[in-house]
């Protein structure tokens, strides 16, 4: 009886064939982003923006990461606390290098990130940049997620990254002069450093190029978007 059962078991194993090995998903390496399951070579400008060449069409694509913000990398335009604009500019450049030094898993949210960019979520990168003080929480609809704010507050209390020389009430993240549009109305965006909530300050002021604009303890130099990059890039003294 035992011999018969053993023979039957061996027959079942033979019929089942060899076991199949389940392949684990590819892991992005330094400079790579696994975007919606497709591996792409990312070119980082700062820590919240990257571009890549679409593998299918060959066209250049751009992404703006959601939920956080790093400092601008087109020049020394930020100032607060005991920081000099040059020091904060160096941190902005460092944030881009930090992002490029590792691989990340991201997903397209299906929304626009502005300026022709896709809004992309890279959760592990977002947490890393905030917890290490390279970025701050950015929410367009009220306070940011509690778990991210806890990471940011811990980074502030430890004096990491951009928080080493002061934590202003708000960070100016964009400045727009009233003469940029025919309506004569401009706006500035300020982000609360405790809640991550973004606030728009509407105005009708006309700013001179390289003029410093301040809100809630931080300042930013005004440079129109068309003069930030390329051959027409404006360098302020």
Are 193 and 109 within 8 A, CB to CB?
Answer: no
Looking at the DSSP bridge assignments, the partners of residue 50 are: 44, 63
What distance in Å separates the CA atoms of residue 133 and residue 116, rounded to the nearest whole number? 28
The pLDDT, as a whole number, for residue 8 is: 45
Is the whole model's pTM more than 0.85, yes or no? yes
Q: Is residue 177 part of a domain?
A: yes
Q: Is residue 15 part of a domain?
A: no
The pLDDT, as a whole number, for residue 22 is: 62
Are 158 and 188 within 8 A, CB to CB?
Answer: no
Q: Is residue 20 part of a domain?
A: no
Q: Is residue 223 part of a domain?
A: yes
The 10s digit of each residue's pLDDT in 143-158 is 999 999 999 999 999 9
Q: What confidence tier does 10 reach under pLDDT thresholds 50, 70, 90?
A: very low
Q: Which of 14-18, 48-52, 70-74, 177-181 has the lowest mean pLDDT?
A: 14-18
Q: Is residue 14 part of a domain?
A: no
What distance in Å separates the CA atoms of residue 190 and residue 136, rounded to the nearest whole number? 12
Q: Is residue 17 part of a domain?
A: no
Q: Helix count (H) and strand count (E) of the chain? A: 4, 15
The 10s digit of each residue's pLDDT in 86-133 is 999 999 999 999 999 999 999 999 999 998 999 999 999 999 999 999
How does the average pLDDT of the chain come out, rounded? 92
Q: Is residue 237 part of a domain?
A: no
Are 144 and 72 within 8 A, CB to CB?
Answer: no
The pLDDT, as a whole number, for residue 26 is: 82
**CATH code: domain of residue 107:** 2.40.50.90
The pLDDT, as a whole number, for residue 56 is: 87
148-185 b/e (C-beta count within 10 Å ≥ 16 → b): bbebbeebbeeebbbbbeebbebbbbbbbbbebeeeee
How many domains does the structure of the chain reveal? Answer: 1
Are 103 and 26 within 8 A, CB to CB?
Answer: no
pLDDT of 15 above 80: no
Q: Is residue 5 part of a domain?
A: no
Q: Give the range of the structural domain holding residue 55, as residue numbers without chain letter.
A: 26-232
């Amino acid at each position: 009886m035992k011999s018969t059962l053993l023979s039957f078991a061996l027959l079942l194993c033979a019929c089942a064939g060899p076991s199949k090995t389940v392949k684990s998903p590819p892991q992005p390496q330094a400079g790579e982003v696994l975007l919606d399951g497709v591996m792409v070579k990312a070119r980082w400008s700062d820590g919240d923006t990257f571009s890549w060449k679409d593998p299918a069409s060959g066209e250049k694509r751009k992404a703006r990461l959601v939920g956080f913000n790093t400092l601008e990398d087109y020049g020394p335009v930020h100032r607060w606390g005991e920081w000099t604009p040059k020091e904060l500019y160096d941190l902005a450049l460092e944030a881009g290098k930090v992002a490029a030094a590792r691989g990340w898993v991201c997903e397209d949210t299906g929304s626009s990130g502005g300026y022709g960019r896709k809004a992309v979520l890279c959760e592990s990168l977002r947490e890393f940049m905030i917890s290490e003080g390279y970025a701050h929480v950015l929410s367009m609809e009220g306070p940011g997620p509690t778990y991210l704010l806890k990471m940011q507050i811990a980074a502030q209390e430890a004096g990491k990254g951009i928080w080493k020389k002061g934590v202003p009430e708000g960070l100016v993240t964009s400045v727009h002069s009233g003469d940029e549009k025919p309506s004569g109305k401009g706006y500035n965006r300020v982000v609360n450093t405790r809640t991550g909530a973004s606030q728009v300050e509407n105005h009708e002021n006309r700013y001179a190029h390289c003029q410093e604009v301040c809100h809630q303890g931080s300042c930013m130099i005004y440079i129109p978007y068309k003069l930030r990059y390329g051959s027409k890039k404006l360098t302020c003294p």
